[in-house]
């Protein structure tokens, strides 16, 4: 079995909802799977501005994506299920947009730490597209998966008030919801 890194970052729109769905909901399905998680910013461009502020990222000029940086306890058993789960709670077909949130900071992105992660992420993304083409997933706004799969770059944590935001503010803003609860079992 190929070793797989335990670190990755996921961009799925506003990072508050991404954090809630992964730290709370994913861990209900896979208890103890997440060793650590923080909201912050990462750019697909390794030469992007260092340490951008929230305001700078929200301006859409830095190229950073709002992400949840995740460290898994056992990536050999939870990385692929996490990538599948990622596609269940956001819309990967709306480029740089989730609901009312628009801009490059809200892009759908999987930042991988090694080639094994990239291979799995690409496989799952292709499967999502096949399931959409076959009519097994029809809860997204459009017909083409726009999720980017790129190498991890420097991660810049958001300020403390944004960490565990929906845990601290249960009625706070969240535009994430389940597009489908169970993964379709076949393409037939």
- Give the CA angle between residues 138, 141, 142 to the nearest 5°: 85
Residue pLDDT, tens place only, 35-57:
999 999 999 999 999 999 999 99
**DSSP secondary structure code for residue 14 in this structure:** S
Residue 177 lies in a domain: no
Residue 81 lies in a domain: yes
Beta strands in the chain (DSSP E): 7-12, 34-42, 65-72, 97-98, 101-102, 108-112, 148-151, 156-157
99: left (phi over 0), alpha (psi -120 to 50) or beta: left
How does strand 148-151 pair with strand 108-112?
parallel
- The parent domain of residue 20 ranges over 7-168
Residues catalogued as catalytic:
14
How would you class 56 by CB atoms within 10 Å of its CB: exposed for 0-12, middle for 13-18, buried for 19 or more?
Answer: middle
Q: How many domains does the chain have?
A: 1
CA distance 89 to 100: 15
**DSSP secondary structure code for residue 160 in this structure:** G
pTM: 0.96
Per-residue confidence (pLDDT) for residue 185, from 0 to 100? 79
Q: pLDDT tens digits for the chain (188 residues)?
A: 678 999 999 999 999 999 999 999 999 999 999 999 999 999 999 999 999 999 999 998 999 999 999 999 999 999 999 999 999 999 999 999 998 899 999 999 999 999 999 999 999 999 999 999 999 999 999 999 999 999 999 999 999 999 999 999 989 989 899 999 999 976 65
Residue 92 lies in a domain: yes
Question: Is residue 78 within 8 Å of 94, Cβ to Cβ?
Answer: no
Per-residue confidence (pLDDT) for residue 102, from 0 to 100? 93
CA distance 114 to 125: 17
What CATH number has the domain bearing residue 42? 3.30.1060.10
């Amino acid at each position: 079995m190929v070793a797989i890194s335990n670190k990755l970052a996921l961009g799925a729109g506003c990072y508050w909802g991404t954090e809630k769905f992964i730290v709370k909901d994913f861990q209900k399905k896979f208890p103890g799977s997440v060793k650590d998680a923080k909201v912050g910013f990462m750019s697909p461009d390794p030469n992007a501005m260092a340490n951008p502020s929230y305001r700078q990222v929200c301006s859409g000029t830095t190229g950073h994506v709002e992400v949840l940086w995740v460290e898994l306890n056992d990536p050999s058993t939870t990385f692929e299920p996490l990538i599948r789960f990622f596609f269940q709670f956001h819309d990967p077909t709306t480029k740089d947009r989730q609901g009312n949130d628009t801009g490059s900071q809200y892009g759908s992105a999987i930042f991988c730490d090694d080639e094994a992660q990239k291979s799995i992420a690409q496989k799952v993304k292709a499967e999502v597209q096949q399931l959409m083409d076959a009519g097994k997933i029809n809860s997204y706004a459009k017909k083409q998966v726009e999720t980017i799969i790129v190498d991890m770059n420097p991660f810049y944590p958001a300020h403390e008030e944004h960490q565990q935001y929906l845990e601290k503010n249960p009625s706070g803003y969240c535009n994430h919801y389940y597009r489908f609860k169970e993964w379709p079992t076949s393409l037939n």
